[in-house]
């Protein structure tokens, strides 16, 4: 049977790699389209952009591996079914579970590896990517001047160059409006000039020649000065044009940038704080109840006595209302804090369950891919890709929808992240039983087969038309 195991696994390698790479390419394309405006036109080095992309490959890889497993199992078992190899193996005494055994073992190994990667490598990669992207977003576009147009890229400073020599970079007919000097406004005009940055890109240095400076204080319109110059050096701050790396330790980590052990500590602290807030509410209720019943010994209200027909004096009524209002505000504040702590714990619990559920999808997709590939004989690329995409979109929708519902506390974190796995696993078990024991009939199963075959035929026709 070692030969059979090796034979089956050998045909899984290429479609698995192809499926993973394809999904990662799609995620990469989506990432670039989303952040293209932040990356282009800022004078960033290619190595810096490549570094950002490599850091984001981590989360793409985690989401792409289950898709690769599903595509590989569909292709392999679909091909074996199309060439009647499944029938030959069954005639030789091998059942479906025996054929699925090496794939299930491989799925378990992938599940363990992906869980380790998801908990050890992914959090640090996500954090480094967030810090680097924040630094890139903060960097301003590269400073540039266009002939005949005002440049306002420098804060508090406007520059106009009427013409620019493209070869030497010499500016002609330069006017600078400098509002960086507080209440004093300087308007500088020069026949020619040059622009350079300081070595650390923190300052912009303009060397101006043959011009004049007009100084005006708007508060006192009479305070006006005019200064002629042959050579003048204008220096202003150029913060934001140089790319500066932030320290990773100075940026806080979100839930997707923490390991499971760290998130469990946060959850425990959140539930502990929620319990303390609940205890404060109970303490305040007991304290105010004792005060209103004269058991606390505080103030005049506790010592006040009156008959059934008498009225409460004004000062005691005012004291009573003040205590009730104070109690209401205190309870409202503690109840809000308690709910915030519970919501915080809920969000981290959802993320913890996600770190478990996504790796486990590798095994779940084995259960659905093997029997479905045999039943549909979907060994060609088009059918396998279409079926894989359909199940993956369904699983992705369950994952995203479950995360939203779990974060809002509508359903439990466990059910939120494992619901898609349970549904697909149930379908996979039913299909496995059906293929393993061909005499078993299940309600509605013929309709499912009809829909799958109809979908298969139409997808095949579509790909045929495209290829022609």
| Backbone φ/ψ region at 442: left (φ over 0), alpha (ψ -120 to 50), beta | beta
Residue 467: the pLDDT is 43
> Half-sphere exposure of residue 82, counting CA atoms within 13 Å on the CB side?
15
Residue 442: the pLDDT is 43
Residue 17: the pLDDT is 92
* Inter-residue contact 121 to 58 (CB < 8 Å): yes
Buried b (16+ CB within 10 A) or exposed e, 165-196: eeeeebbebbebebeeeeeeebbbebebbebe
How far is it, in rounded angstroms, from Cα 379 to Cα 459? 13
Encoded tokens for 185: 């406004």
Encoded tokens for 462: 């579509």
| Residues forming beta bridges with residue 345, ordered by sequence position | none
Residue 372: the pLDDT is 84
Q: Model-level pTM?
A: 0.70
Encoded tokens for 109: 């190994």
Q: What are phi and psi of 240, to 5 degrees?
A: 100, -15
Residue 294: the pLDDT is 59
Neighbours of 305 (CB within 10 A): 6
How far is it, in rounded angstroms, from Cα 258 to Cα 127? 9
* Tens place of pLDDT per residue across the chain (468 aa): 677 778 888 888 888 999 899 989 989 998 888 887 777 766 677 888 888 899 999 999 999 999 899 988 988 888 888 878 888 887 777 778 888 888 999 999 999 999 999 999 999 999 888 888 877 776 665 566 778 888 877 777 888 888 888 777 788 898 888 877 666 678 889 999 888 877 766 777 888 999 998 887 666 556 677 888 899 888 887 766 666 666 666 677 888 888 999 999 999 999 998 888 888 888 877 777 666 665 555 554 544 444 444 445 555 666 667 777 777 788 888 888 888 889 889 999 999 999 999 999 999 999 888 888 888 765 566 777 778 888 888 888 898 899 899 888 888 999 999 998 999 999 888 888 888 776 444 444 455 455 545 544 554 454 445 444
Q: How far apart are the first and last CA of the chain?
A: 42
Residue 462: the pLDDT is 47
Q: Which of 235, 100, 411 has the alpha carbon at shortest distance from 420?
A: 411
| Backbone φ/ψ region at 93: left (φ over 0), alpha (ψ -120 to 50), beta | left
Q: DSSP 3-state assignment of 307?
A: coil
Q: DSSP 3-state assignment of 401?
A: helix
How far is it, in rounded angstroms, from Cα 447 to Cα 454? 10
Residue 329: the pLDDT is 81
Question: Mind giving me the DSSP string for 334-370?
Answer: HHHHHHHHHHHHHHHHHHHHHHHHHHHHHHHHHHHHH
Encoded tokens for 89: 């193996």
How far is it, in rounded angstroms, from Cα 282 to Cα 330? 11
Domain limits, the chain: 2-139+352-467, 150-237, 257-349
Residue 182: the pLDDT is 61
How far is it, in rounded angstroms, from Cα 440 to Cα 153? 73
Residue 352: the pLDDT is 93
Question: Mind giving me the DSSP string for 170-203?
Answer: -EEEEEEEEEEETTEEEEEEEEEEEEEE-TTSSE
* Inter-residue contact 128 to 55 (CB < 8 Å): yes
Long-range contacts of 183-186 (CB under 8 A, 24+ apart): 183/217, 183/218, 183/219, 184/215, 184/216, 184/217, 185/215, 185/216, 185/217, 185/218, 186/213, 186/214, 186/215
> Half-sphere exposure of residue 354, counting CA atoms within 13 Å on the CB side?
28
Q: Which of 203, 144, 210, 216 has the alpha carbon at shortest distance from 173?
A: 210
Residue 25: the pLDDT is 92
Residue 239: the pLDDT is 66
Residue 240: the pLDDT is 60
Q: Token match 């500088």: residue?
A: 188
């Amino acid at each position: 049977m070692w030969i059979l195991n090796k034979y089956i696994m050998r045909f899984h390698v290429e479609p698995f790699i192809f499926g993973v790479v394809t999904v990662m390419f799609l995620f990469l394309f989506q990432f670039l389209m989303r952040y293209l405006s932040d990356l282009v036109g800022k004078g960033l080095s290619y190595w810096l952009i490549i570094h950002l992309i490599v850091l984001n490959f981590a989360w793409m890889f985690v989401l792409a591996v289950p898709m690769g497993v599903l595509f590989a199992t569909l292709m392999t078992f679909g091909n074996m079914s199309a060439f009647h190899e499944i029938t030959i193996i069954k005639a030789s005494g091998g059942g479906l579970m025996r054929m699925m055994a090496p794939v299930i073992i491989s799925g378990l190994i992938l599940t363990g590896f992906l869980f380790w990667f998801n908990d050890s490598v992914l959090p640090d990669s996500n954090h480094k990517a967030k810090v680097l992207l924040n630094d890139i977003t903060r960097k301003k576009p590269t400073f540039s001047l266009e002939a005949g147009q005002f440049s306002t890229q420098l804060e508090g400073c406007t520059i106009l160059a009427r013409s620019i020599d493209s070869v030497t970079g010499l500016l002609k007919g330069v006017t600078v409006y400098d509002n960086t000097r507080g209440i004093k406004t300087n308007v500088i005009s020069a026949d020619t000039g040059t622009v350079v940055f300081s070595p650390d890109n923190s300052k912009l240095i303009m060397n101006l020649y043959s011009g004049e400076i007009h100084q005006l204080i708007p508060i006192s319109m009479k305070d006006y000065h005019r200064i002629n110059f042959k050579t003048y050096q204008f220096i202003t701050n150029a913060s934001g044009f140089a790319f500066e790396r932030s320290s990773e330790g100075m940026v806080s980590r979100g839930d997707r940038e923490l390991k499971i052990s760290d998130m469990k500590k946060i959850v425990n602290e959140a539930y502990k704080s929620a319990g303390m807030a609940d205890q404060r509410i109970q303490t305040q209720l007991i304290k105010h109840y004792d005060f209103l019943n004269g058991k606390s010994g505080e103030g005049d209200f506790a010592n006040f006595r009156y008959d059934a027909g008498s009225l409460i004096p004004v000062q005691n009524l005012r004291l009573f209302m003040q205590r009730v209002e104070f109690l209401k505000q205190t309870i409202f504040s503690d109840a809000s804090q308690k709910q915030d702590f519970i919501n915080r714990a809920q969000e981290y619990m959802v993320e913890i369950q996600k770190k478990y559920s996504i790796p486990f999808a590798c095994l779940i997709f084995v259960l659905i891919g093997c029997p479905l590939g045999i039943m549909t004989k979907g060994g060609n690329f088009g059918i396998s890709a279409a079926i894989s995409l359909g199940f993956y979109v369904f699983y992705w929708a369950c994952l995203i929808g479950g995360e939203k519902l779990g974060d809002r506390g509508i359903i439990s974190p466990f059910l939120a992240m494992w619901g898609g796995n349970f549904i697909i696993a149930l379908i996979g078990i039913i299909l496995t039983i059906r293929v393993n024991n061909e005499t078993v009939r299940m309600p509605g199963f013929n309709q499912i087969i009809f829909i799958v075959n109809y979908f298969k035929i139409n997808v095949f026709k579509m790909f045929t038309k495209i290829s022609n």
